[in-house]
Structure 1
Amino acid sequence: MSPRQKVLIVDDEPDIRELLEITLGRMKLDAFSARNLGEAQALLGRETFDLCLTDMRLPDGTGLELVQYIQQRYPQVPVAMITAYGSLETAINALKAGAFDFLTKPVDLARLRELVTSALRLPAPGGASTAIDRRLLGDSLPMRSLRKQIDKLARSQAPVYISGESGSGKELVARLIHEQGPRASRPFVPVNCGAIPSELMESEFFGHRKGSFSGAIEDKPGLFQAAHGGTLFLDEVADLPLAMQVKLLRAIQEKAVRSVGGQQETVVDVRILCATHKDLDAEVSAERFRQDLYYRLNVIELRVPPLRERRDDIETLASHVLKRLAAGTGHPAAKLHPQALEALKGYRFPGNVRELENMLERAHTLCENKQIDAGDLRLAEGNCAAETGVPDLTRIDNLEDYLENVERKLILQALEETRWNRTAAAQRLNLSFRSMRYRLKKLGLD
């Protein structure tokens, strides 16, 4: 018979402690109680716990202090914060400090049981590293840092805003956070917010009832219902229209949705991850994105580095792509000539890893004798086409990436001509300084 798991309860209210003890006991868990920070620290020194539930306000300190104390000394113990109703800012601060999740008073027992069950499924810290290493290739410093952050964020239920350029691997990062966390056995539902027509958004997100509009021939669950118990990944979230942003904010705050044509709200338990290649700060400043939704989604920001910031990984990535292309053909993988590798390392990759994959797939098809030479990559031809102002449309895989590359070259040229004086470069390009600063950040030149 395996030993029962232990939960530490920290609250100065006897009624709350008793309620939690009874609930945990019915879940076949051993509960230990502390009335304040000092007693909690003493118990942590004597016992090994699997979870800690702490009130925010304690007689001799705060729950945040306890979260930080446990993070430093017992990182394997997840901590859930219990806050007063409506104390959203406190809950967000707890998540930023490393708390697993939070509950509001009065405590909903069904929600408490869900939270405890989820927390006790967490893997040990670092236990996900091997799986992440296999999926997220590269040994550069930025990638080692990214893997550590993914491992840490997988142990939390905090909303995460994944920022990064197009093609840098934001959806892969979101999948890894989901797969290494306690929701791994439940659905991961990705949605491209920019690909849904605005008139269908509410139905897609929240579902609809039969007969609620023309064409609604049967009840249909929405994306929130499909992701219940798992993770909803909102890709290109900056493309949501303002009207939909209001409805999304309410769904996230209330943890409930109402389908189109429905009368009752349905409780949903989803973790929200979101991403965009746009600068959300700039979108908020331009009043294209609601500030209250931004704060709700951007509890923790995780930046995915562009490929040009981790050039040491290009050889590893290229080798992996070429082996994948050769798999199943019965032939050995093509090899990169040293000059081809140097050419790749000198290229800026506006399309990041996705562009590298497309480039190698084309070169793999065109090369002779299973060796990819620098000429097979067509890097110089692409650059020349952009510089002459007569682009070859057959070589433009993604218009947005192509235009970003042109914009990057013009800004770099202006900066070099003005000896990196940003104000002078902005004037030369007829841009305001604020617009110049936004573009530099968007293009990774800041």
Structure 2
Amino acid sequence: MTMNPLALIVDDEPDIRELLEITLNRMQIDCCLAESVSQAHALLEKHRFALCLTDMNLPDGSGIDLVQHIQKHHPQTPVAVITAYGSMETAVIALKAGAFDFVSKPVELGHLRELVRSALQLATPAGQANATEEDARLLGQSAPIRELKETIRKLARSQAPVYISGESGTGKEVVARLIHDWGPRAAKPFIPVNCGAIPSELMESEFFGHKKGSFTGATEDKQGLFQAAHEGTLFLDEVADLPLAMQVKLLRTIQEKTVRPVGHSKEIPVNVRILSATHKDLAAEVAAGRFRQDLFYRINVIQVRIPALRERGNDIIYLAETFLGRLSADWGIRQPSLNAAAKEALKSYPFPGNVRELQNTLERALTLCDGNTILPEHLQLQEVSHDDAAAGTPTPLSVPALDPSAAGNSLEDYLMSVEKSMILKALDETRWNRTAAARKLGMTFRSLRYRLKKLGLDDGSDTDDSES
């Protein structure tokens, strides 16, 4: 016989207790009722609860006291607090204390049922496995990474908004995806959005959707990012780049848990967990008046800092060998080893671009290495001061002036067009003898072959061109 889940309801108002009990009973959840913190403590000693719903104001204490008690003594039991209408500050305090989520009075039953379903998923074997399994996306055994993994496991059990800070290239989206994948929303959408990449005039439509005919070019109804992430997670990357006008609308949506598509007259409920990140100092942006303090307070309920690669000790070598293995497998070649000098060079380099720069460095080294050993000269590490590294910015290089008419307007597009032009010129001058072209360009045949494939110029042949 299957046992129903058991919930603890704590509220000193009989009507509220009855409403919550009836709602949960209809969801096939049994309930124990308490009207004070002391009664709740006694019931927690007798039973194992799948979740707890508690009011904030109780005769002998507060809901925060109960949240902290359960966090310490019954950490597997998710707790949601019931707050007064519009009391966002109280809700944020509860989330910081470890509450799973919150619901405002008067209790909206649809939202309550969604909250309860999410909480129950944490108690399932699948939900527990999500939070304990190792994941190849976050590699490393250093103390900072072990601490980060443990933090992610804890945050995955919560619905609190999380602000992820860290230098460029540290893996902020990787951490956001793990928080989503290890939590009860794992089966629902994870929607990442780069806030700095959306034109300001399209931002409201992108986030909230629009109705057909609401503006010029709106030829059909469009679902916004919040609706696309319903019951899942919305990851706001580079959130500091949001214009102030959009910050106001975003704050309202987060607080009210509703969106109004452009051209619509009605609010649409959305159930979305918000994760955000930026490489900028968001507190400094607030101080400079470029980011709203109330929005910062709302999205920065819990902050996670990702350590820079230079803070991770021997993880650098472990990551390097792992990336070399993956690249070699992708290219169908034997994996070369790093010699002792190359390992020392990697460990002493400050990596202002962090993990992303390490990956690019090893990809370059693999193309330049002809034998089975990668030497320091294959790494081609730049001269970087530790001040630049701490700021996450490499020492500027001397590069040709960017021609606005070049392919695209991004530096990456421009450099790729220059590289393609030089390679085509060398191939034309050598009548497409790739060995001779590689010599002319001052690179190895393997390096040229990789670049041809990357630029879409490969003819499919993997054999060397002998100069017969």
1:140 corresponds to = 142
Q: Is it true that 1:391 corresponds to 2:398 in the alignment?
A: yes
Quick one: distance in 2 between partners of 1:298 and 1:45?
Answer: 34
1:232 corresponds to = 234
Q: Is it true that 1:264 corresponds to 2:266 in the alignment?
A: yes
Go from structure 1 to structure 2 and tell me whether the alpha carbon gap of 1:387 and 1:21 turns closer, same or farther (over 3 Å shift).
Answer: closer
CA deviation after TM superposition for structure 1 residue 12, in Å: 0.9
Contact 2:383 2:395 (C-alpha < 8 Å) held by counterparts: no
Which is further off, 368-377 or 127-136? 127-136
Contact 2:6 2:29 (C-alpha < 8 Å) held by counterparts: yes
Go from structure 1 to structure 2 and tell me whether the alpha carbon gap of 1:311 and 1:121 turns closer, same or farther (over 3 Å shift).
Answer: same
Quick one: distance in 2 between partners of 1:33 and 1:47?
Answer: 12
2:296 corresponds to = 294
CA deviation after TM superposition for structure 1 residue 15, in Å: 0.8
CA deviation after TM superposition for structure 1 residue 85, in Å: 1.0
Quick one: distance in 2 between partners of 1:362 and 1:291?
Answer: 43
Quick one: distance in 1 between partners of 2:282 and 2:338?
Answer: 38
Quick one: distance in 1 between partners of 2:316 and 2:267?
Answer: 49
Go from structure 1 to structure 2 and tell me whether the alpha carbon gap of 1:390 and 1:152 turns closer, same or farther (over 3 Å shift).
Answer: closer
Go from structure 1 to structure 2 and tell me whether the alpha carbon gap of 1:213 and 1:378 turns closer, same or farther (over 3 Å shift).
Answer: same
- Matched to 1:43, the amino acid is L
Partner secondary structure for residue 189 of structure 1: strand
Quick one: distance in 1 between partners of 2:28 and 2:91?
Answer: 28
CA offsets, 1:118-139, max 9 Å, x none? 1000157974455344321111
Choose the corresponding residue for 1:251, options 229, 250, 253: 253
Choose the corresponding residue for 1:197, options 179, 199, 207: 199
Quick one: distance in 2 between partners of 1:296 and 1:210?
Answer: 32
Partner secondary structure for residue 259 of structure 1: coil
Quick one: distance in 2 between partners of 1:57 and 1:253?
Answer: 21
Partner secondary structure for residue 41 of structure 1: helix
Partner secondary structure for residue 33 of structure 1: strand
Go from structure 1 to structure 2 and tell me whether the alpha carbon gap of 1:282 and 1:390 turns closer, same or farther (over 3 Å shift).
Answer: closer
Partner secondary structure for residue 177 of structure 1: helix
Go from structure 1 to structure 2 and tell me whether the alpha carbon gap of 1:16 and 1:382 turns closer, same or farther (over 3 Å shift).
Answer: closer
Choose the corresponding residue for 1:154, options 153, 156, 163: 156
Give the alignment of 1:8-19 within 5 angstroms: 8-19=8-19
Quick one: distance in 1 between partners of 2:128 and 2:31?
Answer: 26
Q: Is it true that 1:208 corresponds to 2:216 in the alignment?
A: no
Choose the corresponding residue for 1:352, options 354, 359, 362: 354
Contact 1:132 1:176 (C-alpha < 8 Å) held by counterparts: no
Which is further off, 229-238 or 373-382? 373-382
For the aligned residues, what is the CA RMSD? 2.1
CA deviation after TM superposition for structure 1 residue 21, in Å: 0.9
Quick one: distance in 1 between partners of 2:265 and 2:86?
Answer: 25
CA deviation after TM superposition for structure 1 residue 243, in Å: 0.8
2:433 corresponds to = none
Give the alignment of 1:24-35 within 5 angstroms: 24-35=24-35
Quick one: distance in 1 between partners of 2:111 and 2:240?
Answer: 30
- Matched to 1:336, the amino acid is L
Quick one: distance in 1 between partners of 2:152 and 2:52?
Answer: 22
Quick one: distance in 2 between partners of 1:177 and 1:387?
Answer: 30
CA offsets, 1:33-78, max 9 Å, x none? 0111111111110111110001111111111111111111110000
1:217 corresponds to = 219
- Matched to 2:242, the amino acid is L
CA deviation after TM superposition for structure 1 residue 328, in Å: 4.2
Go from structure 1 to structure 2 and tell me whether the alpha carbon gap of 1:338 and 1:251 turns closer, same or farther (over 3 Å shift).
Answer: same
Quick one: distance in 2 between partners of 1:366 and 1:23?
Answer: 66
Go from structure 1 to structure 2 and tell me whether the alpha carbon gap of 1:129 and 1:30 turns closer, same or farther (over 3 Å shift).
Answer: closer
Quick one: distance in 2 between partners of 1:315 and 1:393?
Answer: 34
Quick one: distance in 1 between partners of 2:242 and 2:134?
Answer: 30
Contact 2:212 2:221 (C-alpha < 8 Å) held by counterparts: yes
CA deviation after TM superposition for structure 1 residue 98, in Å: 0.4
CA deviation after TM superposition for structure 1 residue 335, in Å: 1.2
Quick one: distance in 2 between partners of 1:308 and 1:78?
Answer: 36
Partner secondary structure for residue 99 of structure 2: coil
Contact 1:51 1:120 (C-alpha < 8 Å) held by counterparts: yes
1:63 corresponds to = 63
- Matched to 2:21, the amino acid is E
CA offsets, 1:265-323, max 9 Å, x none? 11111000000000001000000001111101101111011111112210111111111
User: Which segments of 5 or more consecutive residues in structure 1 lack a partner in the other structure?
Assistant: 401-446
Contact 1:100 1:158 (C-alpha < 8 Å) held by counterparts: yes
CA deviation after TM superposition for structure 1 residue 4, in Å: 1.0
1:105 corresponds to = 105
Go from structure 1 to structure 2 and tell me whether the alpha carbon gap of 1:307 and 1:381 turns closer, same or farther (over 3 Å shift).
Answer: closer
Identity %: 65
CA offsets, 1:310-341, max 9 Å, x none? 12210111111111101244433221111111
Quick one: distance in 2 between partners of 1:245 and 1:203?
Answer: 14
Choose the corresponding residue for 2:342, options 320, 340, 343: 340
Partner secondary structure for residue 169 of structure 2: coil
2:437 corresponds to = none
- Matched to 1:38, the amino acid is S
Go from structure 1 to structure 2 and tell me whether the alpha carbon gap of 1:223 and 1:390 turns closer, same or farther (over 3 Å shift).
Answer: closer
Contact 2:131 2:183 (C-alpha < 8 Å) held by counterparts: no
CA offsets, 1:129-186, max 9 Å, x none? 5534432111111101100100000000000000001100000000000001111111
Quick one: distance in 1 between partners of 2:311 and 2:394?
Answer: 24
Quick one: distance in 2 between partners of 1:315 and 1:284?
Answer: 38
Partner secondary structure for residue 133 of structure 2: helix
Partner secondary structure for residue 102 of structure 1: strand
Contact 2:155 2:179 (C-alpha < 8 Å) held by counterparts: yes
Quick one: distance in 1 between partners of 2:134 and 2:395?
Answer: 43
Partner secondary structure for residue 312 of structure 2: helix
Q: Which runs of 4+ in 1 moved over 2 A?
A: 123-135, 328-332, 380-383, 386-394
Q: Is it true that 1:83 corresponds to 2:86 in the alignment?
A: no
Partner secondary structure for residue 137 of structure 1: coil
Contact 1:155 1:181 (C-alpha < 8 Å) held by counterparts: yes
Partner secondary structure for residue 117 of structure 2: helix
Q: Is it true that 1:311 corresponds to 2:313 in the alignment?
A: yes
Go from structure 1 to structure 2 and tell me whether the alpha carbon gap of 1:105 and 1:373 turns closer, same or farther (over 3 Å shift).
Answer: same
2:284 corresponds to = 282
1:437 corresponds to = none
User: Which segments of 5 or more consecutive residues in structure 2 lack a partner in the other structure?
Assistant: 386-392, 402-409, 413-468
Partner secondary structure for residue 9 of structure 2: strand
Go from structure 1 to structure 2 and tell me whether the alpha carbon gap of 1:338 and 1:369 turns closer, same or farther (over 3 Å shift).
Answer: same
Contact 2:384 2:395 (C-alpha < 8 Å) held by counterparts: no
